[in-house]
Structure 1
């Protein structure tokens, strides 16, 4: 929130003062028009980047479930109805964890090794689904400032052309040209900061989902091993004593 507040302050500083109360929107449009044609590619980067960000956030939030509660339901289904009941529980639950579980349970009749291979393979596929679109988001984060810098360079060239045609180095002429040229860089950096915030949020969300998926997959394999031995899948695993505790 502090970053967003600072970003809002810097954005407001870019807006010209409106003595007639025209509003921030009109001021922003005025600055945008002053920036020239290179403002449009930067704006396109922002629009597409925000669309990807919102789609990823919605998808990741839908994929996020209470993993421990789901794992407990799967273990109870294994105890009560065996593999078919656990498969039904996975099929009725959304999210990558349930999909990985279902892929492993479908290979349960082939042995634990087959289950582990299926979990690893399908886990990689689910991870690629979670990361879908982030490459493009990262691209727009990099491209937006570059387009801004390019617009600044072109604007500076035009400013010097104006000075050459005028035949006089007027402070007003130089300042006006440089101001317009720097607007594209400012907006490009603002776009990159906004998209970077959403990118980092999505990456942290994916990392947490993948970690939960890996931990839950290990517990699923342990539950299947216990089931093969005739033990309860929901039985608590005893924690081995440390070397120091055994010596005592």
Structure 2
């Protein structure tokens, strides 16, 4: 019985070794990046730039666009009661884009309505420009990164066929091996482009929500000033 079991063990070990030898080698992420060539360097730079811009703008926009749910109600009540200084201080203490817009608008109370509306519009545009600062770079990265990836792939293909012309050796292994390495740059460029494109539009959605809230609050604020009243908050 012992003699019969020995060959079985040897056969199992031999089969396992053969199976392990025939298994395809798994690709590692770092290996793929390294095989992409020099084009991966600017693509990696754009990747980190896009991540920085997305997170930096996200936290800035979230901090600057948050506001108290009762913000405009408090402003409206203070203005209607004639507490102009209190309303101005309340808006200033918000330390947000919305607060700065209404701080300037409240400071114009007593001026013609058109001048107050112009102030709200001007300061609102300034605050929107601050929120959108550097976001244009995300749009540039979304366009450049895929193009860099394609450039890397095209240059790699040119190199492959140039080598074939020198060696006169058309081998599927040579072509496929070199081609998959060069297509890594296209994949990397597309990934960076998608991240930048998505981040750009998500941030824009946050700004658009703030713009809508600002317009609604500005309308309510102007409406209070236009109401005929004998209270101190009169407008010429």
* TM interval, short-chain normalised: 0.7 to 0.9
Encode CA deviations 1:129-163: one digit per residue, 9 max, x unaligned: 12111110100010000000000111111111221
Q: Whole-Å Cα distance in 1 between the matches of residues 181 and 162 of structure 2?
A: 14
Matches within 5 A, 1:109-120: 109-120=110-121
In 2, are the aligned partners of 1:156 and 1:181 still within 8 Å (CA)? yes
Instruction: Identify the residue that residue 230 of structure 1 maps to in structure 2.
Output: 230
Q: Whole-Å Cα distance in 2 between the matches of residues 79 and 34 of structure 1?
A: 69
| 1:159 pairs with 2:168 | no
Instruction: Identify the residue that residue 238 of structure 1 maps to in structure 2.
Output: none
Instruction: Identify the residue that residue 49 of structure 1 maps to in structure 2.
Output: 50
Instruction: Give the length in aligned residue pairs.
Output: 209
Q: Whole-Å Cα distance in 2 between the matches of residues 72 and 81 of structure 1?
A: 14
Q: Once superposed, which parts of structure 1, at least 4 consecutive aligned residues long, lie more than 6 Å away?
A: none
TM, length-normalised to structure 1: 0.79
Matches within 5 A, 1:165-244: 165-226=166-227, 229-230=229-230
Instruction: Identify the residue that residue 246 of structure 1 maps to in structure 2.
Output: none
Instruction: Identify the residue that residue 17 of structure 1 maps to in structure 2.
Output: 26
Greater RCO, 1 or 2 (C-alpha within 8 Å, sep 6+) = 2
Q: Which has the larger radius of gyration?
A: 2
Q: Whole-Å Cα distance in 1 between the matches of residues 68 and 213 of structure 2?
A: 7
Instruction: Identify the residue that residue 14 of structure 2 maps to in structure 1.
Output: none
Q: Whole-Å Cα distance in 2 between the matches of residues 207 and 138 of structure 1?
A: 17
Instruction: Identify the residue that residue 21 of structure 1 maps to in structure 2.
Output: none
TM, length-normalised to structure 2: 0.83
Q: CA deviation at 1:166?
A: 1.8
Tell me the secondary structure at the aligned position of residue 203 of structure 2: helix
TM-aligned CA distance change 1:222 to 1:232, over 3 Å: farther
Tell me the secondary structure at the aligned position of residue 115 of structure 2: helix
CA-based RMSD: 1.8
Tell me the secondary structure at the aligned position of residue 109 of structure 1: coil
Structure 2: runs of 5 or more not aligned: 1-24
